[in-house]
Amino acid sequence: MTDKSKGFTRRQILVSSAASLAVGAAASAKAATVAGTPGWIPFDHNGPMHYDTPGWQFFTAEEAREVEAIVERLIPADDLSVSGKDAGCAVFIDRQLAGEYGTFARLYREGPFTPGTPAQADQSPLVPQERYRIGLAALGKYCQAQFQKPFSGLEGEQRDKVLTDLEKGAITLEGIDAQFFFQQVLGNTMEGFFADPIYGGNRDMVSWKMIGFPGARYDYRDYIALHNQKLDLVPLSIIGSSAWNKKG
């Protein structure tokens, strides 16, 4: 006991010097020193730039028509909400693909690309922009061969059948795995339906009103004490809220 407390053992010294070497190396490789007050620019903001820009940012008009036909069936209009198309899901996906997500600009993208187990998630060499461009073209080709029409030209039930087959892997697409493509579009459609309207989907906060989500609020400190009361909070988007409009 007393021996140990007198100083480091040889092992402790070796371990600690290795650790401090590693820390030193990491620090010198990418160190930024901020002195004084950090920089600040008046009128600065980093909101999404093009949620209200008219026109398609990534899709061609033809691609956009097909994506709208897909999201219209993935989330059909019913007595709960408008369709995925009318909620702006295709617009959301278009803006998403035009941004950093479309090229996976912020992900590690060096190979090797080998098929992994499902637990290893996405191992595709294709970035989302390619997935849509290749997948939509292949789907168009499949529909032309089967029905002599584009996907958007099919009746509702035919479209559902094609989508179901994609999901089950009963269809083979050229250049991309059908199930993989289906999951990509389904995932992005749900994101578009439930994300903040500032990103182009969830128009008029339609999904939030449907499920009673009060929106992007900082916290609920002011409501903690209000027990057993219906709050009826008007949903709030990053863009704003209808409660901000002056009445009368």
Partner 1 sequence: MKTTLSLCAGLLALSLGTANAASGGDSYNLVQKGRYLATLGDCTACHTQPGKPLFAGGVSIDTPFGKLVGANITPDPETGIGGWSFEDFQNVMSKGHAPGDKRLYGAMPYTAYTKVSREDNQAIWAYLQTVQPVHNPVETNLLPFPFNLRSSLIAWNLLNFEEGEFKPDAKKSEQWNRGAYLVQGLGHCGTCHTPKSLTGGDKNDAFLAGADLQGWVAPNITADPHAGIGAWSVEEIVQYLKTGANRFDIASGPMAEAVEHSTQHWKDEDLMAVAVYLKDDPRTDWPKPVEPLAADSPAMVAGKAIYADRCSACHVGSGEGIAHLFPKLAKAPLVNAADTASLIRVVLAGSRAGGTEAAPTAPAMPSFAWNLSDENIADVLTYVRNSWGNSASPVSSAEVTDLRDSLNER
Give the footprint of partner 1 on this chain (CB under 8 A): 36-38, 40, 42-45, 47, 217-219, 221-222, 234, 236, 238-241, 243-248
Nearer Cβ to partner 1, position 4 or 246? 246
3-class DSSP state for residue 215? strand
Q: What's the min distance (Å) between Cβ of 231 and partner 1? A: 12
Nearer Cβ to partner 1, position 43 or 108? 43
In angstroms, rounded to a whole number, what is the distance separating the alpha carbons of residues 46 and 41?
12
Q: What's the min distance (Å) between Cβ of 41 and partner 1? A: 9
3-class DSSP state for residue 236? strand
Nearer Cβ to partner 1, position 66 or 196? 196
Q: What's the min distance (Å) between Cβ of 124 and partner 1? A: 36
**What one-character-per-residue DSSP string does 129-170 give?**
HHHHHHHHHHHHHHHHHHHSS-GGGS-HHHHHHHHHHHHHT-
**What one-character-per-residue DSSP string does 172-187 give?**
--SSS-HHHHHHHHHH
Nearer Cβ to partner 1, position 11 or 45? 45
Q: What's the min distance (Å) between Cβ of 79 and partner 1? A: 30
Q: What's the min distance (Å) between Cβ of 208 and partner 1? A: 14
Nearer Cβ to partner 1, position 179 or 241? 241
Q: Are 138 and 176 in contact (CB under 8 A)?
A: yes
Q: Where are the beta strands (DSSP E) in the chain?
A: none
Q: Are 74 and 186 in contact (CB under 8 A)?
A: yes
